Amino acid sequence: MAPRSVLITGCSQGGAGEALARVFHQNGFKVFATARSLSKIQHLESEGIEVLELNVLDNQSIEKTVHAVSGLTGGKLDFLINNAGAGYMTPLLDIDLTKANKLFDLNVFAPFAVVKAFISLLIASKGTIVNIGSYVDSLPAPWQGVYNASKAALRSLTDNLRLELRPFNINVVYIAAGGIRSNFLDNLGTVHVSDTSLYYPAREILEPIMN
């Protein structure tokens, strides 16, 4: 009997996706660990984990990954875990709208692009979709407004997707993750309060908090 299969996005070294890939592998799953750059996941290959380059913001990259997975599983996928994402820490009145739009593309729309591409494989196995969110989806917090809103949107869309896919025997799960020891915050970079910000007079207090 073929092992159950799982594809996980956002498996770069030091993150939650990497940890998930290892746990599934240890439990006998055929694991497809993905990241935008193979160099960030190549180390997992030596552990017996299949690694694939996947840019969740690129439809061609997604389709290429679907083709690769389908060929290795006979056209089925048991679990799809949308873990890839990013953060954005800045006062709402200081946000860069271009950056905010890109964050929503990655945190909200990309997971559904991946689901859409893999749906036939998931239906074939009566599989499970897992979208990794955050407890901040319903928690107002200063400087995190855009990130929190992206997770709230992900949760809402996941709840609707669950209803729409129920007739096809697909489970849809949203995980409101708490604090996870990872390199997530390291990837935010250093945040500075702009000299045009309403909060500039308090920058010496705020910047250590945001960083």
Q: Is 99 a catalytic residue?
A: no
Which residue type, as a one-letter code, is found at position 133?
Answer: G
Q: Is 88 a catalytic residue?
A: no
| Closest listed residue to residue 8, CA positions, set 35, 26, 29 | 35
> For 21-30, which contacts have Cβ atoms below 8 Å and span 24 or more sequence positions?
21/49, 22/47, 22/49, 24/79, 25/49, 28/3, 28/4, 29/3, 29/4, 29/5, 29/78, 29/79, 30/2, 30/3, 30/4, 30/5, 30/6, 30/72, 30/73
- Of residues 147, 174, 199, 200, which has the active-site annotation? 147
Q: How far apart are CA 102 and CA 118, in angstroms?
A: 23
- Of residues 30, 40, 76, 151, which has the active-site annotation? 151
The catalytic site residues sit at 147, 151
